Copies of this chain bind each other. A is one copy, B any other.
């Protein structure tokens, strides 16, 4: 099973967004499978390979190949992951509203982009790196947050507030000089969180290098393979396509914000009982939303529901 033409990416958390993300790279037959799956996601979780192949009009091995291409180890794995994704998506992303006016369609476009960015972030999340980042920040005596450029400024501000509320001493800098100066007074036991989608801001990279040389743990939320990713000790990699057209809002902010929220929540948990209680409430809320899904049921004792009736 060595040496496939297309590398198999790690197991996706959000399979639907993964399928969309790689669709362009799929072969024609595989794309037909993707279309067949997209035509009825729900059914795809119950079909056999032969049935799905029939719907897509391709051979059975093409279905298996499709599953591998979207990051699953087997068809069975694909079905499990799809079922999981669908449950989550059904609970959170369903909207029945149809917009007929221009403004409504505009809003829908923009917001779906935002939602997709969050899902894309979830899909490609390196949970190990994220765990390490949480660990590092939770254990820090003091945290410096660096971000540069217009887009990052508000993110940095947001991250600062997030961690500040947890009672962690935190400073945020969007200015290169100030960031470097602050980095120079860090000590072992301190931590840095650097945020940059491009990963190429020289000032941030230098500030991170300085902080590292003084013994601080450096965490970067950025694109892999960039100078910033090289400079930081812990990298949470995140590739979000940037539209270089300044008029179009970049959805990467949503992705970064979501990652930051996750980090903050993880740190909250690490900080003891108070944080854990908060976390429990997050989970409770999540589960409650699940309950809200309208579903014909025959069992009143059931606490939570997935999708409605099958078929």
Which chain A residues have a beta carbon within 8 Å of chain B's beta carbons? 10-14, 16-18, 20-21, 35, 38-42, 45-46, 76-77, 79-80, 83-116, 118-119, 121-123, 125, 127-128, 130-131, 134, 150-151, 153-155, 157-158, 161-162, 164-166, 243, 245-249, 253-254, 257-259, 261-262, 264-266, 268-270, 274-287, 289-308, 310-311
Could you tell me if A278 and B134 are in contact, using CB atoms closer than 8 angstroms? no
Could you tell me if A13 and B266 are in contact, using CB atoms closer than 8 angstroms? no
Which residues of the other chain, B, contact A243 by a CB distance below 8 angstroms? 281, 285
Q: Chain B nearest CB: distance from A79 CB in Å?
A: 6
Choose from B131, B245, B304 the contact partner of A89 (Cβ within 8 Å): B304
Known: A87-B88, A154-B161, A297-B13. A112 touches B290 (CB 8 A): yes
Further 12 A-B residue pairs, CB within 8 A, beyond A106-B265, A111-B258: A12-B299, A80-B80, A90-B294, A90-B295, A91-B284, A92-B304, A94-B119, A96-B297, A100-B134, A106-B262, A111-B122, A113-B285
Which residues of the other chain, B, contact A91 by a CB distance below 8 angstroms? 88, 112, 116, 280, 283-284, 286-287
Could you tell me if B304 and A14 are in contact, using CB atoms closer than 8 angstroms? yes
Known: A107-B262, A154-B161. A119 touches B115 (CB 8 A): yes
Q: Chain B nearest CB: distance from A265 CB in Å?
A: 5
Which residues of the other chain, B, contact A35 by a CB distance below 8 angstroms? 310-311
Could you tell me if A302 and B98 are in contact, using CB atoms closer than 8 angstroms? yes
Q: Chain B nearest CB: distance from A146 CB in Å?
A: 15
Could you tell me if A161 and B157 are in contact, using CB atoms closer than 8 angstroms? no
Q: Which of A11, A20, A108, A245 has the most CB of B within 10 A?
A: A108
Which residues of the other chain, B, contact A93 by a CB distance below 8 angstroms? 115-116, 119, 292-293
Choose from B99, B262, B281 the contact partner of A127 (Cβ within 8 Å): B99
Could you tell me if A92 and B38 are in contact, using CB atoms closer than 8 angstroms? no
Q: A298 CA to B262 CA in the complex, in Å?
A: 34
Q: Taking chain A's interface residues, is the majority helix, strand, or loop, or is none over half, making it mixed?
A: helix
Could you tell me if A282 and B113 are in contact, using CB atoms closer than 8 angstroms? yes
23 sample A-B contacts, Cβ–Cβ < 8 Å, listed by A number: A11-B310, A13-B104, A13-B295, A20-B291, A35-B311, A40-B298, A76-B79, A83-B83, A87-B87, A89-B287, A91-B287, A92-B287, A93-B115, A93-B116, A100-B269, A106-B262, A111-B122, A113-B285, A150-B164, A154-B155, A157-B157, A248-B278, A249-B264
Q: A106 CA to B287 CA in the complex, in Å?
A: 12
Q: A150 CA to B172 CA in the complex, in Å?
A: 14
Could you tell me if A262 and B111 are in contact, using CB atoms closer than 8 angstroms? yes
Which residues of the other chain, B, contact A269 by a CB distance below 8 angstroms? 99-100, 106
Choose from B84, B285, B297 the contact partner of A87 (Cβ within 8 Å): B84
Which residues of the other chain, B, contact A164 by a CB distance below 8 angstroms? 150
Known: A103-B130, A103-B134. A13 touches B154 (CB 8 A): no
Q: Which of A92, A155, A299 has the most CB of B within 10 A?
A: A92
